[in-house]
Amino acid sequence: MDNTNRDLSIPFKIMIALIMAFVYAALNILLADFSLVEVPYVSIRPQLILPLLSGYLLGPFYGFTVGFLGNAMSDMVTGYGIEFLLNWSVANGLYGLIMGFFPKNEDKIRTNRSFTIFFLYILLVNIVPAAYALLTRVVEPGVDALQKFVGLGLPIVVSNTLVCTLLFPIVLMFLKKIELNFEIKITLLVYYFSLISVMAVFAATIGILYSMNLLNTDNQTFALIIYDLSIIPLVAINLIGFGISNAISQKLLNPLLIMTEDIKQLDGKSWDKKLDIHTGDELEFLATAFNEMIDKINDTMRKLWDNVAEKERLAAEKERTSTELNIAQQIQTAMLPDPFPTFPDRTEFSISGRMTPAKEIGGDFYDFFLMDDDKLVFIIADVSGKGVPAALFMMSSKEHIIDQVLTGLDVDEIFTRANHHLYKNTAEGVFLTTFLGILNLKTGILSFVNAGHNPPLLRRRNEKFEPLAMDSGFVMSILPDVHYKRQTLKLNPGDTLFLYTDGVTEAVDKNGAFFQEYRLKKALNGLPHYDDHSSEYILHQIRDFLSDFTQDAEQHDDITMLCLKFRHPMVCQN
């Protein structure tokens, strides 16, 4: 059912009807002289669409209101007064009233049958008001009823029918009240071809007769006969057109509907349905091609089901591997320092770290902790390779190095012993680069050792980040008897040390370009109000710079960063 009436409130519909009535009256006045050739008292009235439209959309009462009130207002303005109030004004109202009772079983006109009914109903809408107007005027003394019928009634029906059948479907299509499906498109094509053909022949006939001077005032009766007879081909050819369009649509549409219903039965589980179409044309060819496609799908499905056990096994193995990797990732995360902020009760320094593995688990690691109340230990390392083997080597290396740190040895001896142990217990070709620092919080003296790792970037207060000048050392676990060098650095209040693995500088964008150290320095030196920010804020900003640079490019290496800000020496309390 059409829900247009139900969706609009009564006050709103009254307002729309009044607006349309005023528009109808204005158009009646403006188009009063737009009349048939040699029949000046019969106007061509495209504005008649307004009462029909209001009746169709809003209902009978509102349709009658637009037609009746609009015609009455135009009569008052043009000087007719209320002479034709109960005659032509009521007749105008009947157009909208009758259209409002059109049987709309659906919200749209969808089929050839419903459009044929719509066309015949428009004929009824045009005949009844004209008949009413004539009957109410026939009783006038001295009026010949036949003359009224031939000279006024039929020309009015012809002109109004032409206007309504030509324009009203176009308006309804614009308002999406006619569904432009395949069947309706064929119907409209034949309908407008038939309608325009009749109008063209009619116009050509009028033109010829007018050029022959047969439609002058003296031959007005002949002109009226021409107009009156035109209703016959108008109706007949359109009805024939409806029959032709119905035959065409059924010829094409029925096989398509059968195909659609058969295709709907293919639920994705059963592919046994075949299309049984024998039209001897392209539709049969399409059905044959579809059946061949179904056969190929069935062959493919059988092959897939033959391998389903293998696929289930692989899926289960993938799920088990994913679960194990998730557990390993949780273990690795648990080995990192506690979530930020770290050491919230210590004002002498701010330290933070961040690691983003290239796979589920990574081969980089970092750590920091207070060995004594006045000694801060921090370490960063990069293991060769990625994934599970690198992660296992990382955990073994970290455990052994931290064990050596806790013995209290100097940093150089810690690395010398750790390297010897890793060399003996590690597969050939596996190595790591690492940097270890122990900061005396009372003096600001940093004792550190490096094993082939990237030089940290150092920023003195109110200066810029530059690579730390130091002995680079040799990577761990490649040679057994490597002796590492203890180095020292005095950190002053406001100094910052930024450590990172090569996953930072070797991060790539979508074009394969590396981030490189100069971009890292530029990003660090470009941070505003540097001394006001914590180490965690610095890491967050650098991570954002990296994300903006790489965008959606694949990450090929673990990205690990550690930042230490030395604020002031530790105050000794007696």
With tokens 């579809």, the residue in question is 290
Neighbours of 209 (CB within 10 A): 18
Instruction: Check if the beta carbon of residue 130 is closer than 8 Å to that of residue 157.
Output: yes
Q: What is the C-alpha separation between 21 and 18, in angstroms, rounded?
A: 5
Tokens of 359: 């796979």
Question: Phi-psi region for residue 130, left (φ > 0), alpha (ψ -120 to 50) or beta?
Answer: alpha
Pairing of strands 39-43, 364-372: unpaired
pTM for the whole structure: 0.47
pLDDT of residue 247: 67
Instruction: Compute the distance between CA of residue 116 and CA of residue 136 in angstroms, rounded to an integer.
Output: 31
In the numeric block, which tokens belong to residue 473?
Answer: 């050392």
pLDDT at 117: 84
| Cα 314 to Cα 338: distance, rounded to the nearest angstrom | 37
| Residue that the structure tokens 């990296």 belong to | 546
Give the pLDDT of residue 499: 96
Q: Contact at 8 Å (CB) between 92 and 133? A: no
Q: Tokens 């059988």 map to which residue?
A: 302
Q: What's the pLDDT score for residue 8?
A: 74
Distance of alpha carbon 420 from alpha carbon 423, whole angstroms: 5
Which DSSP symbol is given to 342?
A: P
At the fourth CATH level, the homologous superfamily of domain 337-566 is PPM-type phosphatase domain (3.60.40.10)
Per-residue pLDDT of the chain (574 residues; tens, 9 = 90+): 455 555 678 889 889 989 998 998 888 888 876 655 555 455 678 888 899 999 899 989 998 999 899 888 988 887 777 767 777 888 889 988 998 898 877 778 888 788 888 888 888 888 888 888 777 765 455 555 555 555 566 677 777 877 888 888 888 888 888 888 777 787 778 777 777 777 776 666 666 666 666 555 454 455 555 554 555 666 666 667 666 666 666 666 666 666 666 666 665 555 666 666 666 666 667 777 777 777 777 777 777 777 766 666 666 666 665 555 565 555 556 566 765 667 888 889 999 998 888 775 667 888 999 998 999 999 999 888 766 777 777 888 888 899 999 998 999 999 999 999 988 888 777 889 999 999 999 999 999 999 999 999 999 988 999 999 999 999 999 998 899 999 999 999 999 999 999 989 999 998 889 999 999 999 999 888 777 788 899 999 999 999 999 888 888 888 899 999 999 998 765 5
Tokens representing 51? 């009462």
Q: Are 396 and 365 in contact (CB under 8 A)?
A: no
Of 162, 171, 225, nearest in space to 194 by CA: 162
Numbered ranges of CATH 3.60.40.10 in the chain? 337-566
The pLDDT, as a whole number, for residue 239 is: 66
CA distance 530 to 26: 75
Phi, psi of 9, deg, nearest 5: -75, 160
pLDDT at site 356: 83
